[in-house]
Amino acid sequence: MYNKLVRLEVMRNLGKEVNNFINSYLTPVEKIWQPTDFLPDPSAETFKYDVEELQTYAQEMDYALFVTLIGDCITEEALPSYESWIMGIDGVEQEKSSGWSQWVRSWTAEENRHGDLLNKYLYLCGRVNMREVEITTQYLIQDGFDIGTSMDPYRNFVYTSFQETATNISHRRVGSLAKQTGNTKLSRMCGVIAADEARHAKAYKHFVTRIFELDPSEMMLAFEDMMRKKIVMPAHLMRESGQKAGELWGHFSDAAQRAMVYTGQDYINILSDLLNDWKIEHISGLNEKAEKAQEYLMKLPGRLQKITDRIATPDLQYQFKWVKS
Ligand SMILES: [Fe+2]
Ligand SMILES: [Fe+2]
């Protein structure tokens, strides 16, 4: 499918820059926020009051928005799937303590705080059937995912560039919608998570930029292939108790669309941003096949726009087991 030896060589070269990547795009452990910074302190006198306040705001949240927040938390909690997948990419050698495996560990360590914070929030908020959330999470990790990248680093970095941007948008929107109803504490939690995602997106986009410099035709073909397959979300196999893998996904994505947290328009906007960031239009020195891929990619936002304009916002009648009735 692709020339693995060239991929390994490119990854080896880029691997020399991993320390720079970590310094530029990640934050040292003792300087970065921790979930506890944003949660009520059980040893404080105000704890009961703080939890009550948190619960009141959670009760008032719009149903579709609340469900989206829960699904976002579960998506974050399936981090073991993502880490093990990325660890397996060609050129990421786990037994070596330096290089790409160090990037993956450091990135995972930052990501791990997201599910941790949201899970504790949901536990405290009193509106969630945590057992059902836990069942969905356990299933999601057990079911894994297939994101169509194989173990190709180029395809995987396209995927993560896209995905980190999508999670940035999603957390940011939940945060600003929460803020509109005065729920400033939840808004701040989502805001700090979104800021992490933005840094991560920048990092993965930078990796792709570097690969475009080293192996432009193959990078272009990998980008095209991912967009032809469409980027599936990491939680696409989501289910509730009693369901088959993937059965819940459509309902969750309808909720996110309905709450205006993540829509078809966002998909197109992310693609357009990637085309701009990677200056796809101006990349030269491509072979014939890659030139065709470049042409396809440049026309894709326009084509997707025509389809998206015809899609109506879904009605949401589905009752999630996650939410206490
Ligand atoms: Fe995250
Ligand atoms: Fe992320």
Residue 323, classed as helix, strand or coil, is strand
- The answer to whether residue 196 is catalytic is yes
Q: Point out the ligand nearest to the CA of residue 118.
A: 1
What's the gap in Å between 175 CA and the centre of ligand 2? Answer: 16
Q: Residue 1 above 90 pLDDT?
A: no
Q: Grade residue 158 by pLDDT with cuts at 50, 70 and 90.
A: very high
Place of tokens 């309808």: 254
SS3 label, residue 128: strand
Locus of tokens 């109803």: 181
Over residues 274-280, the mean pLDDT reads 98
Say which of 171, 200, 206, 236 is annotated catalytic.
200
DSSP 8-state assignment for residue 222: H
- Among the bound ligands, the one closest to the CA of 166: 2
CB within 5 A of ion ligand 1: which residues? 76, 111, 114
Supply 31's token pair.
């300087």
Q: What is the largest CA-CA distance in the chain?
A: 69
User: What is the spatial distance between Cα 278 and Cα 275, in angstroms, rounded to a whole number?
Assistant: 6
**What is the model's pTM?**
0.97
The helix or strand, by DSSP H or E, that contains position 65, with its residue range, turns out to be: helix 63-77
CA-based R_g, the chain, Å: 20
pLDDT, mean over the chain: 96
Q: Cα–Cα distances in Å, from 218 out to 6, 137, 273, 301?
A: 10, 36, 20, 21
CA distance 168 to 179: 16
Q: Is 111 part of the annotated catalytic residue set? A: yes
Distance 163 CA to ligand 1 centre (A): 10
Rounded Cα gap, residues 320 and 274, in angstroms? 34
Q: Stretch 159-170: mean pLDDT, rounded?
A: 98
Q: At what angle do helices 18-25 and 184-214 cross, to 10 degrees?
A: 150
- pLDDT at res. 226: 98
- For ligand 1, the distance from its centroid to the CA atom of residue 148, given in whole angstroms, is 20
Residue 128's DSSP bridge partners are 323
Query: Mean pLDDT across the stretch 153-180?
Result: 98
| Contacts of residue 30, Cβ cutoff 8 Å, sequence gap at least 6 | none
Q: Does the annotation count 322 as an active-site position?
A: no
Burial bucket for residue 230 (CB in 10 Å: 0-12, 13-18, 19+) = exposed
> Which one from 167, 171, 215, 254 is the annotated catalytic residue?
167
Question: Would you call 46 exposed, middle or buried from its count of C-beta atoms within 10 A (0-12, 13-18, 19+)?
Answer: exposed
Going by pLDDT thresholds of 50, 70 and 90, the confidence category of residue 97 is: low
Residues flanking ion ligand 2, Cβ below 5 Å: 164, 167, 197, 200
| pLDDT number for residue 216 | 98
Segment 111-141, tens digit of pLDDT: 999 999 999 999 999 999 999 999 999 999 9
- Residue matched to tokens 């008032």: 60
DSSP strands (E only) in 24-169: none
